[in-house]
Structure 1
């Protein structure tokens, strides 16, 4: 690795002893221009009401239930189509440069790959639309943990604890697992608290979330500016 690339890793511990890799989706594998505040006021209000009813500190909604409140009596398949059309209009996504190449190369090396992401029912189909079927990418469905399935969102460490337990069942410890995300609060902090090694993806200015910190104070073990750097 040349000197410039060493700087990207901030002089932190080398990437050795990694037996599994987990990824965030939005802002890491998929690029997006959307912010965190939903642009639709009515939908935002319904989401806020659902959050207020939740017993969890970082609640998540099942977006199909929210759209069903707006359109009572609409069949499930139409609710899903409506939700997907709406999501694509307010949060268009595209493959992050190097994402497909990197996943295929990691798959070829035999590394178990998974996803830990704040997500909805359409997130995985959108990922597959942009990058291809997850089985061809090497992503193990058994190592995928999405917020909408548990109604708990990052930065709650809950999803990371689930991933930690599933990996341990396979004989892989958290300290042998690398988690990559673009957000220091939602990704790096809870992953690190759970015991995972971490890499902050800082290659997309639209998506990078430093939350007032500096890159050299992000809390991540590594900083990468291209996903392909994982292959080095």
Structure 2
């Protein structure tokens, strides 16, 4: 499948999702001085049904293999378990190299798993397999108000960024489910960072520092003038605050909200603001301070 076909397949396989109320109370006091916004994707701009590994099952993988025409896994094997084992091994190897929060390219993971079974999949087959698995095991859908929010910020000329734990196909969610590409929504290329391209994942401070440098170097915007919007206290809020961003917790979906109360490293870490609907952000961020 080419990119257009992958986009069509994501659109065809996706179904509307509704957020599950979190019971959180929003904190909508205006944030003065903000001139730009960075978004997490999964669990923030897109509702997400499951984690990257947790939703993968043997049955869903066998169905995905069949959809791509790769045939079943060998009898007695558990492709879901092998998939997780290969990811963990890749992570361990990267940690040995000094990377605290490693990321994989999931196409390479599947190439290795299939290769062990004597299946030589093409790059196109691997990419289709990733999309088939993703749509079945951890579906996504735009959060309510997402298109309207992005249109508002884009039309005001705000620099917009993305920092997300993601894979090669993640940007395709935008054209598949909103009809516009990442660039068409106003995200600037130098302000977009996906974990798979860095081989490093959030909450790595390095990724946040890279983004902070890009804002200053390309737009003359300082860290305290950037609002980071995410759903996870450890992966989004804590590192954003540490590098000097303003931090807004998206608490609009109980499935993805991550306060992580058992993580002692987060003691005393609180977001600057909390929103329970993306539609609350414009009032929080406006008027523009230029």
1:159 to 2:207 alignment = yes
Aligned to 1:171: 220
TM-score normalised by length of structure 2: 0.73
Deviating more after overlay: 36-45 vs 50-59 = 36-45
Residue 220 of structure 2 aligns to a residue whose secondary structure is: coil
Aligned to 2:114: 71
Aligned to 1:147: 195
In 1, Cα distance between the equivalents of 2:231 and 2:163?
Answer: 12
Aligned to 2:158: 111
RMSD: 1.5
1:9 to 2:56 alignment = no
In 1, Cα distance between the equivalents of 2:165 and 2:214?
Answer: 18
Q: 2:52·2:138 contact (CA, 8 Å) conserved in 1?
A: no
Deviating more after overlay: 80-89 vs 113-122 = 80-89
In 2, Cα distance between the equivalents of 1:121 and 1:37?
Answer: 16
Displacement after TM superposition at 1:36 (Å)? 5.4
Aligned to 1:97: 144
Q: 1:45 aligned to 85, 108, 116, which one?
A: 85
In 2, Cα distance between the equivalents of 1:163 and 1:42?
Answer: 34
Deviating more after overlay: 136-145 vs 21-30 = 136-145
Q: 2:42 aligned to 7, 11, 26, which one?
A: 26
In 2, Cα distance between the equivalents of 1:20 and 1:101?
Answer: 17
Aligned residues: 221
Q: 1:30·1:127 contact (CA, 8 Å) conserved in 2?
A: no
Structure with bigger gyration radius: 2
Aligned to 1:4: none
In 2, Cα distance between the equivalents of 1:37 and 1:70?
Answer: 15
Q: 1:104·1:136 contact (CA, 8 Å) conserved in 2?
A: no
Flag structure 2 segments of 5+ consecutive residues without an equivalent: 1-24, 57-79, 263-267, 284-290
